[in-house]
Amino acid sequence: MTTESGTSQAPRPVGVAVLGHGTVGAEVVRIIRDDATDLEARIGAPLELRGVAVRTVSEDRGIPVELLTTDAESLIARDDVDIVVEVIGGIDLPRKLVRAALDAGKSVVTANKALLAEYTGELAEAAEAKHVDLYFEAAVAGAIPVIRPLTQSLAGDRVNRVIGIVNGTTNYILSAMDETGADYAEALAEAGRLGYAEADPTADVEGFDAASKAAILASIAFHTRVTAGDVYREGISKISAADLTSARALNCNVKLLAICERITTDDGKDKVSARVYPALVPREHPLASVSGAFNAVVVEAEASGRLMFYGQGAGGAPTASAVMGDLVMAARNRVQGGRGPRESKYADLEIAPMSEIVTRYYVNLQVADRAGVLSAVAAEFAKRGVSISAVRQEGAGNGARLVVLTHRATDEALSSTVAALDELESVTAVTSVLRLEGSAE
């Protein structure tokens, strides 16, 4: 930096506090320390690590012990801390800490989707009040740049749909079931052994994690505040090996999808739909071939057409890559002046209930194997105006099953048809119901 008298003055360092030194935090701290020279050149000032908040201070974390503290609040409040990186996880504590940082005029970078899916509004307002940045690229799909493309690169386009595989654990499980014929319990156990599934896998397998990410994506894509509670959610724990077999027969894969969509109702009103459920995806769709723990997000916008983002959605280093991108941006803003984009919620669209969503169903029924069963089943679809696209019998006698694929209809009509089928004397059980997404019909 050059002063008015023409003398050179070293730029003021940017002070960083990292809250958390676990899977993600340890990688963030490593990059800040190992890549200091490059980071300084990119930012225009040194990035200096002021401290790292943890639960347990110990000498064997590979960083100087004097950097560690259990007092996150005091670390945040230090005058020489400009940016706070929150990688603790959970909701209540990080909400308090992130608020404290923003209220004190510090920019915040967080990877915390659970926090953002509930409190983006509150936190964005706090950031706005102090003219600081709140960045969260890592909160959705780990290393994959998707928040910044939606917020900035597509800011002049009209996004109609964002559909993604945003949970690596469930994608690993479903891929393993497809590739090895394993049942759900076996695939989940293997995901646990490989470190993908946590000891309590509920947040992943029941779709809560993906629903948080869907809320974040929908908010940004449609300029509307969407919270986790607005997202319709089903998990994968009821998916069976038989569903994967049927999917293969239909030339489909089963994927847990996060779908964020602009829908226009008959009276011309735009609404936002955000939903998470396992669905059949035709094998020719780009998401069908995303296997293992990888993530991918497809964005459909009016001028750009279809864009696809693919890569590692979790893990220490990949997630730290996204955190570091945000940290460099926030640090540059500190050095050069200015701010990143603020929250955009001007459209304030209504949230569409699941019943209004138009989709296709795959229904697997255990039936009596006798004359008239097929027509009784078909009659229930016809009564509700649901058109059948294909029907196939699998097995015979006591093992007879009917697999029905519908054309597009409202979820209300489809779900009431399924409820009626369940009451039919000739239907022993509705074995499974899945939606079909991404088909041309």
Which residues would be at the binding site for ligand HSE (CB under 6 A)?
142, 167-169, 204, 209, 313-314
| Single residue of 24, 108, 210, 320 touching ligand NDP by CB under 6 A | 24
Gap between the Cα atoms of 352 and 178, Å rounded: 32
In 103-236, at which residue ranges do the beta strands (DSSP E only) sit? Answer: 107-110, 134-135, 159-165, 232-233
Catalytic residue, chosen from 106, 113, 130, 213, is 213
Residue 348 Ramachandran class (φ > 0 left, ψ -120 to 50 alpha, else beta): left
Length of the chain measured in residues:
441
Residue 75 or 272: which CB sits closer to ligand NDP? 75
Q: Using the rule CB under 6 A, give the single segment among 1-9, 51-59, 154-162, 333-341 that binds ligand NDP.
A: 51-59
Size of the site for ligand NDP (CB under 6 A): 23
Residue 24 or 331: which CB sits closer to ligand NDP? 24
| Single residue of 83, 126, 127, 142 touching ligand NDP by CB under 6 A | 142
Asked if 304 is part of the footprint of ligand NDP (rule: CB under 6 A), the reply reads no
Gap between the Cα atoms of 179 and 279, Å rounded: 17
- Give me the amino acid identity at 339: R
Q: Which does 22 bind (CB under 5 to 8 A by kind): ligand HSE, ligand NDP, none?
A: ligand NDP
Both structure tokens of 359: 């989709």
Give residues 59-98 in contact with ligand NDP (rule: CB under 6 A). 72, 87-89, 93
Which single residue is written with the structure tokens 């209930």?
A: 353
DSSP helix, strand, coil percent of the chain (3-state; round to 5): 40, 25, 35
Our answer to whether residue 213 is catalytic in this structure is yes
Q: Which does 204 bind (CB under 5 to 8 A by kind): ligand NDP, ligand HSE, none?
A: ligand HSE
Number of residue whose CB is nearest ligand NDP: 22
Q: How far is the CB of 22 from ligand NDP (least distance, A)?
A: 2
Residues contacting 97, CB < 8 A, separation 6+? 19, 72, 73, 76, 84, 86, 88
**How many alpha carbons lie under 13 Å from residue 300 in its C-beta half-sphere?**
11
Catalytic residues: 213
Q: Which residues lie near ligand NDP (CB under 6 A)?
A: 20-25, 53-56, 72, 87-89, 93, 111-113, 138, 142, 314-315, 319
